[in-house]
Structure 1
């Protein structure tokens, strides 16, 4: 089925992509992921225990809590889309990368199921999270099932690079887990530096993004230089993506994000804008530090004030600068890899849309 992925949609785009052309290229990329990767995931999940499968399907937006079909939001599918672009960048048959793309989405879904429990998040995509709908034990089991299946999915289409891609995905999953552990530790009241934040985000978010950008090329036999270059691209993109997500967690519209407004501030999470603001000088930073030293819940008016203090102390501006720096680095590394123009422009379009989104 995936052979039809090999086509050149870029012909309708200008040689120097406009904002509209970038948006079209991004949409085309996500359409490929939905069309070719989602059916693989649906087929694999049929082998699960029926109750566990229902939790997984609910989390993916396919059914409601009673198992009835739902026209829900299946998520952005960014990571599988990057896997397909990675395979295309290596000049391989992207049909060989579809199962690797499915594997990355399953690892991502596992991480979200567990993350929602650890963070106590009660809403995702405008409906109860899986643990709220089915209970913590079932959500944990669903996450475990997705993680264990991801490895067999990747190996379902044997290619010369499948084993090394599996090793990479397994290692980056361990980095993801270590990053999540650091994220939890940051909530224990310790002071966090920007360097420590970047180590956390480099695991929690950027590790799987790095895998996604590398294993597509790896499974189709791309060179080591290309695979490692794409992994580095993904790592910088992942950091930019996480910082952008941190910005949305404070200033984003809950209707667009699908999460409760200022939920990160409610938990006093040490996100990038917060870390940057807490380490600044001045009256706003000092008042912000007092809020973060306190333990009583923040009222709605206090949440508004805290967000304002973060911005006044320079946290928002620093976050935007960090995202811009990461994106400049992604463009630099792609330029060094000498990719075909279509592959390079598609990867940069996805990077631009991922970090400029409002959801």
Structure 2
């Protein structure tokens, strides 16, 4: 296969790619949301950060809602030889599914903050937020079913498979949270389902709508899946050591919720004194003060778990780029896809 030599990209390349590509699909996403029943539309638009609880437009903070999944769909459509606009149905569908999952996950995980403000379920109630998520899922399926009849059956099957994987990943995540004894393999199962599956689906759907061949669709799905593993590992790192001004979530939030993310599981299984102290704290059942949370973050780092997560992310990114190289893509969109991969790598710190 031909190796693609991407041109050097400036440091801000990924942000430019995200902003430029988002402008292509966002009008279609807004149109899909505006077609929802009025009470559901109100919740969905709030969740997406477009307006407040009374549907008054608000200014979206910088860095909020990067929309990496639809951007990947559009770039993959262009990379296989199509026009980015050809993949708009794929981009809209995967973003709707992603936000369906966020609405439900926030409820199941008890997360009270999303995109720098109260999560939808804390504002509108649990039942209404669940219904809004369900409505977004239906809208995603309708988006694919209503466009390009020669592609729609394959696209719907691909999206349905991705959603089944996503649900399996959330189920594994809930089992992971229910008690001790978690392993790194358990964490990988969660990552494969909750994050990697939908990023892979975004890439394969985009390639389908761009007219890609079977090999390109398969390789771009693998690219998205490997990128998804790296993306979630970066999130796991940020969930402990991230800056709340950038993440939109409380400092040390994963530790405060006793979440068993991959760095935490690696620390607990490390067999070190720091790991044993962390385990005792997780099992104590008392609320952690800010000082204790800072101490626990230090314990995780002392076990080498932060470095392990960063190394795994780097390995997955290298595998993702290898898939791009093998897919024989148009140089410009391929370089943009690499810029997105670089952005994911930068998030690991």
- The answer as to 2:328 corresponding to 1:328 is no
Q: Is the contact made by 1:160 and 1:221 (CA closer than 8 Å) also made in structure 2?
A: no
Q: Is the contact made by 1:83 and 1:212 (CA closer than 8 Å) also made in structure 2?
A: yes
- The answer as to 2:59 corresponding to 1:71 is yes
Q: Is the contact made by 1:159 and 1:220 (CA closer than 8 Å) also made in structure 2?
A: no
Tell me the secondary structure at the aligned position of residue 38 of structure 1: helix
Tell me the secondary structure at the aligned position of residue 205 of structure 1: helix
Q: Is the contact made by 1:159 and 1:219 (CA closer than 8 Å) also made in structure 2?
A: no
Equivalent runs, 1:1-359 vs 2, <5 Å: 16-20=7-11, 23-24=12-13, 26-73=14-61, 75-158=65-148, 160-357=150-347
What is the CA-CA distance between 1:19 and the residue it aligns to?
4.2
TM-score, normalised with respect to structure 1: 0.91
What is the CA-CA distance between 1:29 and the residue it aligns to?
2.5
What is the CA-CA distance between 1:219 and the residue it aligns to?
2.0
**Higher relative contact order (CA closer than 8 Å, sequence separation 6+):** 2
Paired with 1:30 and 1:203, the residues of 2 have a C-alpha distance of 24
In structure 1, runs of 5+ residues without a counterpart are 1-13
After superposition, the C-alpha distances for 1:74-110 in whole angstroms (9 at most, x for unaligned) are 6111100000011011101322211110010000111
Tell me the secondary structure at the aligned position of residue 95 of structure 2: helix
Q: Is the contact made by 2:80 and 2:330 (CA closer than 8 Å) also made in structure 1?
A: no
Q: Is the contact made by 1:162 and 1:218 (CA closer than 8 Å) also made in structure 2?
A: no
Q: Residues 341 and 47 (structure 1 numbering): CA distance in 2 closer, same or farther, change over 3 Å?
A: closer
Segments of 4+ moved more than 3 angstroms: none
Paired with 1:28 and 1:293, the residues of 2 have a C-alpha distance of 45
Paired with 1:307 and 1:326, the residues of 2 have a C-alpha distance of 24
Tell me the secondary structure at the aligned position of residue 318 of structure 2: helix
Number of residue-to-residue matches in the alignment: 343
In structure 2, runs of 5+ residues without a counterpart are none
Paired with 1:161 and 1:220, the residues of 2 have a C-alpha distance of 10
What is the CA-CA distance between 1:18 and the residue it aligns to?
4.2
Paired with 1:62 and 1:193, the residues of 2 have a C-alpha distance of 39
What is the CA-CA distance between 1:131 and the residue it aligns to?
0.6
Q: CA RMSD in A?
A: 1.8
